[in-house]
Structure 1
Amino acid sequence: MKVDLNQTAIDSTVKHKIKILFIITSLGSGGAEVMLHSLLSSINRDRFEPSVISLMDKGIYGEHIEQLNIPVYCVKMLAGKPTINSAKEITNLIKQIEPDLIQGWMYHANLAAQFFNFFAQRKIPVLWSIHHSLHAISEEKPLTQGIIRFGSWSSKYVGQVAFVSEKSQAQHQQIGYSKANSCVIPNGFDTSKFKPSAEIRQNFRQELGITDQTFLIGSVARYHAMKDQANFLRAAHLLLAEYPETKFVMVGTGVDYENQALTSLIDTLGIGDNVHLLGQRSDIPQITPALDILTSSSAYGEAFPLVIGEAMSCEVTCVVTDIGDSGWIVGDTGKVIPPKNPAALAQAWQEVIKMDTAARAELAQSARHRIINKFSLVSVVAQYEDLYQSLID
């Protein structure tokens, strides 16, 4: 029998799955964690064999990833700071997993991927993923500033640096990040998961005790200075002077009634009857379609906010601060305003509220069309898969 050596070689190549080890800082409820889960949910498992190391705890997305039959290892560093034992654990895990490629996911994990690959004596490609913009590096924590600056020097020694936005790429390259091994892969959105739903709208509004006619403005973001929830609340106070029946809902880790900074500001502004603080929720697709406006009120730090694209996929109009690529995502389907400006935010909300029903519906529909045409998850996953293959070849 004649053996086709070329076909045998092809079959051998196909059978060998590329082992990818993802190292991420934590697996909480942030946008970068959501995107990693989305990528792992859709990656071609016939070609790739993923595993994940979290430098901190498992969080809610660690459990979601394990449900995909992907192993998740948690080193449980305190505040992401390495110890001798955690360093040994990561090094041993890399030796045990024997990956073909290591991908860091966020600043701290990027450096961890680079260093521990060296300590494990694995001569394999390392890929960095940067999900952050540098509106003002001085506003970052001192440790994060140091890691960012060290990364600007060491970035030339990794296989590739993938940014989620063009603005983030340009900002990092301005402080010395390598241009030779850089690319942009935006976040992608599952438009079959995030879509308009009259049923979801009705159910969530019943949960809040409001009617379908009540105008509802939402914020979905963990509590952090860069998210600037105070800006959102001060703008709410200004809008309520003109539209007193408007309601506001805020969702995210730490955005609850135990947060004294938020509740104190709400009391000072006298808007408690109009604001709902829901804290961390794992059912965001069951919330977003109920909104009339989604707002990202961030002051700095955003690169490519997932919540904006998710809302647009649900035909929810977005009013966002011009941080990172937020404005580019929205395009002409919503409103883009300067950060740290409650008056501008309230004015933008007012402009949307004043639109007639048909015009507002047309604007919301154009938002979903923009996501489908430019930021589909299928396209983004394909870009990552092509990048992985190019680094291995």
Structure 2
Amino acid sequence: MKVLHVITGLGDGGAEAVLHRLITHDPHDEHQVVSLTGLGKYGPLLAERGVAVTALHMPRGRLTWVGLRGLWRAVRQARPHVIQTWMYHADLLGGVAGRLAGAPVVWGVRNTTLEPGRSSRGTIVVARLCGWLSRRVPQRIVACAQAAVQVHAALGYDRARMVVIPNGYDLARFRPDTEARARLRCEWGVPDDVPLLGMVARFDPQKDHPNLIAALGRLRQAGHGFRVVLVGTGVDAGNAALAQAVSSAGLQEEVRLLGPRADIPAVMNALDVHVLSSAYGEAFPNVLAEAMACGTPCVTTDVGDAAQIVGETGWVAPPRDAAALAGALEHALHAWRDAPGWRARQQVCRQRIEQRYSIEAMVQRYRSVWEEAVALDHPKGERS
């Protein structure tokens, strides 16, 4: 089957990462990709795998005639059996272009929050327009989380066309690795008898680093000993606001700001507990499943499908509540002190991801949806 993916961009984001994993782990289908903006991080990576990637270079939030003409040409030249779109602007533009070209379309929605002040006005307008078109353009709408279905149904999306496909993970890459754990903890000067907490997340209001720092400050005041590593774009010593928050909480000795890293599986293995302090907007937080696949239990705020991912293996706190987050972390530290119980918890974390969120299961679910979309579109005529 020939699948044409249309995505808003190919930068370092969750949807982009899932697209990359989906294509590189699907041996059966022929994939092409069109980015409405630039090549970003994943364009070159896909091109290295022999995937045809086209970047239209439209400015974010603004349409250009050259870009629209390029999209139409790409759709017509690809002659795909199905078009899979990713994120609102691509859903709208790629969806309309696909239907005009006679191809069945599957939309992809990734957000669980669309509110003024958190999402741009343009994004909200496009999402509402997509809601109105959802009964006319896509044969199916893939959401990565049940929470996303609820939010978009309230926006007017056709719930009957929506199907949830959770993100899938490369369990050969994200796996327990004692050598990587020992290497990084040695590099960071963290002995095995000191619990290491961490969060892998870019610096963004959505991730709510101030809430995490406030919770860690409470934990320190309660007399707990621990170390913390924070990893992600903008999470480094050059971030004056974050460095000041760490200093104000008296955490200079406990917290290291490491910035972006390419060895995330090793980081997840080095941690004893991964924390996600997000305030809003998460659908299916990748970092929770990635940490758990490495056998690392998680503490998370109750955003998107986070609670469903961790299940009984971790701890969940309400968002924007530093006291509750500190309490959840305290429970985790108490559990960590029971070595046999902790080892059993680590094993259950890994097993939960293996059973629910393998990359193979995700690929098969997407293929089933594409086949269904083609079958639903069949009465309009055979496609070569």
TM-superposed CA distance for 1:137, in Å, is 6.2
Aligned to 2:129: 150
Kindly indicate whether residue 112 of structure 2 is the aligned counterpart of residue 129 of structure 1. Answer: no
Aligned to 1:40: 23
Q: Which amino acid aligns with 2:87?
A: M
1:374 to 349, 353, 356: 356
TM-superposed CA distance for 1:335, in Å, is 0.3
Q: Which amino acid aligns with 1:374?
A: R
CA distance in 1, matches of 2:8, 2:361: 25
Kindly indicate whether residue 166 of structure 2 is the aligned counterpart of residue 183 of structure 1. Answer: no
Q: Give unpaired runs (5+ residues) of structure 1.
A: 1-17
Q: Contact 2:82/2:374 (CA < 8 Å) preserved in 1?
A: yes
TM-superposed CA distance for 1:337, in Å, is 0.8
Aligned residues: 372
Q: Which amino acid aligns with 2:109?
A: I
TM-score (norm 2): 0.92
Aligned to 2:299: 319
Kindly indicate whether residue 39 of structure 2 is the aligned counterpart of residue 21 of structure 1. Answer: no
Deviations 1:309-359 (A, max 9, x none): 111111101101111110011110000110001111111111111121111
Kindly indicate whether residue 65 of structure 2 is the aligned counterpart of residue 108 of structure 1. Answer: no
1:206 to 186, 199, 219: 186
The alignment partner of 2:258 has SS state of strand
Q: Contact 1:56/1:80 (CA < 8 Å) preserved in 2?
A: no
Q: Contact 2:114/2:124 (CA < 8 Å) preserved in 1?
A: no
Q: Measured at CA, do residues 309 and 127 of structure 1 come closer, stay the same or move farther in structure 2, by a change above 3 Å?
A: same
The alignment partner of 1:50 has SS state of strand
Q: Measured at CA, do residues 74 and 353 of structure 1 come closer, stay the same or move farther in structure 2, by a change above 3 Å?
A: same
Q: Contact 1:55/1:80 (CA < 8 Å) preserved in 2?
A: no
Q: Which amino acid aligns with 2:101?
A: R
CA distance in 2, matches of 1:107, 1:282: 28
CA distance in 2, matches of 1:137, 1:188: 31
2:207 to 195, 204, 227: 227
Q: Measured at CA, do residues 298 and 156 of structure 1 come closer, stay the same or move farther in structure 2, by a change above 3 Å?
A: same
Aligned to 1:277: 257
Q: Contact 1:185/1:383 (CA < 8 Å) preserved in 2?
A: yes
Q: In the TM superposition, what are the counterparts of 1:50-199 in structure 2 within 5 Å?
A: 50-117=31-98, 121-134=100-113, 136=115, 139-157=118-136, 158-199=138-179
Which segment is superposed worse, 18-27 or 244-253? Answer: 244-253
CA distance in 2, matches of 1:75, 1:196: 40
TM-superposed CA distance for 1:135, in Å, is 7.4
The alignment partner of 1:382 has SS state of helix
The alignment partner of 1:289 has SS state of helix
The alignment partner of 1:176 has SS state of coil
CA distance in 2, matches of 1:265, 1:206: 26
TM-superposed CA distance for 1:63, in Å, is 2.3
CA distance in 2, matches of 1:58, 1:292: 35
Deviations 1:202-245 (A, max 9, x none): 11112323223321111111222111111111111111223464
Q: Measured at CA, do residues 23 and 295 of structure 1 come closer, stay the same or move farther in structure 2, by a change above 3 Å?
A: same
The alignment partner of 2:312 has SS state of coil
RMSD, matched Cα: 1.7
TM-superposed CA distance for 1:44, in Å, is 2.6
Q: Contact 1:165/1:324 (CA < 8 Å) preserved in 2?
A: yes
TM-superposed CA distance for 1:129, in Å, is 0.8
Q: Contact 1:185/1:380 (CA < 8 Å) preserved in 2?
A: yes
Kindly indicate whether residue 339 of structure 2 is the aligned counterpart of residue 360 of structure 1. Answer: no
Q: Contact 1:87/1:116 (CA < 8 Å) preserved in 2?
A: no
CA distance in 2, matches of 1:76, 1:256: 30
Kindly indicate whether residue 247 of structure 2 is the aligned counterpart of residue 267 of structure 1. Answer: yes
Q: Measured at CA, do residues 291 and 319 of structure 1 come closer, stay the same or move farther in structure 2, by a change above 3 Å?
A: same
Aligned to 1:10: none
Aligned to 1:388: 370
CA distance in 1, matches of 2:297, 2:276: 11
Q: Contact 2:227/2:254 (CA < 8 Å) preserved in 1?
A: yes
Q: Measured at CA, do residues 159 and 135 of structure 1 come closer, stay the same or move farther in structure 2, by a change above 3 Å?
A: same
CA distance in 2, matches of 1:223, 1:197: 27
Deviations 1:171-218 (A, max 9, x none): 211221102211111111222211111101011112323223321111
CA distance in 2, matches of 1:240, 1:71: 51
Q: Which amino acid aligns with 2:150?
A: A
CA distance in 2, matches of 1:283, 1:55: 29
TM-superposed CA distance for 1:71, in Å, is 1.6
Q: Which amino acid aligns with 1:274?
A: E
Q: In the TM superposition, what are the counterparts of 1:214-363 in structure 2 within 5 Å?
A: 214-243=194-223, 245-355=225-335, 356-363=338-345
The alignment partner of 1:59 has SS state of coil
Which segment is superposed worse, 345-354 or 66-75? Answer: 66-75
The alignment partner of 2:12 has SS state of coil
The alignment partner of 1:146 has SS state of helix
Which segment is superposed worse, 130-139 or 231-240? Answer: 130-139
The alignment partner of 2:159 has SS state of coil
Which segment is superposed worse, 170-179 or 132-141? Answer: 132-141
TM-score (norm 1): 0.90
CA distance in 2, matches of 1:207, 1:80: 42
Identity, % of aligned positions: 35
